[in-house]
Chain A
Amino acid sequence: MEDRPPDAPVPPQPYAAPTYAAPPSPPSPPGPPTGVAGLPPIPWEDPAQAFPGNLFATIGLLYSKARPAYERMPLTNDVLKPYLFALVVGWIGIAGSVLWQTVFTNVMASILSMAGANAGNDSSRFFMPMLMGPLALVWAPFAVAAGVLIGGLIVHLFLLLLGAAKGGFVATLRVLCYAQAASLLQLVPFCGGLAGTIVSLMFAIVGLSVVHRVSTGRTAAAVLLPGVLCCALVGVWVALLGGAAFLSHYHPNLHP
């Protein structure tokens, strides 16, 4: 073995592999957006899927596997597609709600007329929803468009307050847009509105925890904080009203 001082220059190695800089690779063409975990995008944003198949696939994915659905949601700044999704499903939900409201208003009016009740004194109470129904279908997209944005701003404000808005406003807005899928539950009569509200909150909590990478407890706190007090108070209020109605029905002399 050759004896060489440690600071001596290294002689060239005739059999060593030549070293050279790798040529710069050409820029790769922009591919389809991927989800949070590098998964294929959610069907609504998958360029390979067409309408309305991508709408049904997205709704099915959200209802069956909400967390994987949000993990597949791309976090790009292109919020127009999720916004359009919110408009479509929100409009369908309002249309369903209007339909049932109109149907039950008619049924109620028929029952009252058959029972001989004098509904004429308060006819606007029954006919107003019928008149407002078609109008509601016209202004529903505007209400959804404004509501999603305002809701997103409020939720994001509370996420900021709780230090849980790591993904930025666009991520929050995207989650709330897809959470509008819950408004389709308004197509179910009687309990659809309440169920839709609860499922919408669940979608939002799960989705926000995915995109902001925080616990569901923190996102639940952010989402529910503005509403918890109000809902609790509304519940108390409804209970009080119910109690008052009960008392006035069975004890009419309590009224002055």
Chain B
Amino acid sequence: VIAAAWGVSARRARADDRALAWVLAMGAGSVVALAPVLPALARFVPACPFHALTGVPCPGCGVTRAALAFFRGDLAAAFGWNPLAAAALVAGLAAGALAPVWVALGGPLPALAPVLPVRTRVAIVAALLLNWAYLVWRGV
């Protein structure tokens, strides 16, 4: 009931969910495959213009450093650089790794309402703003 009030419900996985599960797995696998070259690629990522102009980190600042720290195995540093990005990375990789098996077993899948309730949207925006406030406070 609480989840439904937030616009989230659950349904059983169907056979036609397998394709999406495999796509999630391929996406997560691609991120892992790119991990060895990530330090080299990160050198080509331009500096954040928002940070350069204002001296204040933008909401996306620290994502690259969080990813680099994550793939070094330093989870605490990853969450320190950008908590939301690190959490998304962990959740995405876990979802990609588990999705094909989960769907094959017919486990419950989250289903979002076509139009989310206002409270859910406010919560999402609040999470983004809180994450940004943390980045500013930490001086990422």
Tell me the A residues contacting B by CB distance below 8 Å. 76-80, 83, 132, 135, 139, 141-143, 145-146, 148-150, 153, 157, 160-161, 163, 165-170, 173, 229-230, 233-234, 236-237, 240
Q: Most B CB atoms within 10 A — which of A79, A145, A234?
A: A145
Minimum distance in angstroms from A127 CB to a CB of chain B: 14
Q: Does B70 contact A (CB under 8 A)?
A: no
Interface residues of B in 79-107 (CB under 8 A from A): 92
Known: A77-B16, A161-B121. A149 touches B34 (CB 8 A): no
Tell me the B residues contacting A by CB distance below 8 Å. 14, 16-17, 19-20, 22-24, 26-27, 29-31, 33-34, 37, 40, 49-50, 52-53, 58, 60, 92, 112, 114-116, 121, 124-125
The 12 listed contacts between A and B (C-beta, < 8 Å) are A79-B19, A80-B19, A135-B37, A139-B37, A163-B116, A165-B114, A165-B116, A168-B112, A168-B114, A169-B112, A173-B20, A234-B49
* Residue in A77, A166, A234 whose beta carbon sits within 8 Å of that of B115 in the complex: A166
* Residue in A80, A145, A237 whose beta carbon sits within 8 Å of that of B52 in the complex: A237
Which 8 A-B residue pairs are closest in the complex by CB-CB distance? Answer: A237-B49, A149-B27, A142-B30, A145-B30, A77-B16, A146-B30, A166-B114, A163-B115
Minimum distance in angstroms from B10 CB to a CB of chain A: 15
* Chain B, residue nearest A82 (CB): B23
Minimum distance in angstroms from A85 CB to a CB of chain B: 12
Q: How far is the CA of A149 from the CA of B14 in the complex (A)?
A: 21
Residues of chain B contacted by A141 (CB below 8 angstroms): 30
Q: Most B CB atoms within 10 A — which of A143, A160, A165, A230?
A: A160
Count A-B contacts at CB 8 Å: 85
Residues of chain A contacted by B121 (CB below 8 angstroms): 160-161, 163
Residues of chain B contacted by A240 (CB below 8 angstroms): 53
Known: A78-B16, A236-B53. A142 touches B114 (CB 8 A): no
Q: How far is the CA of A80 from the CA of B21 in the complex (A)?
A: 10
- Chain B at the A interface: SS class: helix
Q: How far is the CA of A80 from the CA of B23 in the complex (A)?
A: 7
Residues of chain B contacted by A166 (CB below 8 angstroms): 114-115
Minimum distance in angstroms from B9 CB to a CB of chain A: 13
* Residue in A145, A165, A167, A230 whose beta carbon sits within 8 Å of that of B27 in the complex: A145
Q: Are A161 and B124 in touch, CB under 8 angstroms?
A: yes
Residues of chain B contacted by A77 (CB below 8 angstroms): 14, 16-17, 19-20
Q: Are B37 and A150 in touch, CB under 8 angstroms?
A: no
Q: How far is the CA of A165 from the CA of B116 in the complex (A)?
A: 9
* Residue in A132, A143, A168 whose beta carbon sits within 8 Å of that of B30 in the complex: A143
Q: Are B33 and A142 in touch, CB under 8 angstroms?
A: yes
Q: How far is the CA of A218 from the CA of B125 in the complex (A)?
A: 17
Residues of chain A contacted by B92 (CB below 8 angstroms): 150, 153
Minimum distance in angstroms from B13 CB to a CB of chain A: 11
Q: How far is the CA of A163 from the CA of B113 in the complex (A)?
A: 10
* Chain B, residue nearest A80 (CB): B19
Q: Are A157 and B124 in touch, CB under 8 angstroms?
A: yes
Minimum distance in angstroms from A114 CB to a CB of chain B: 28
* Chain B, residue nearest A231 (CB): B49
Known: A83-B23, A142-B30, A149-B23. A237 touches B124 (CB 8 A): no
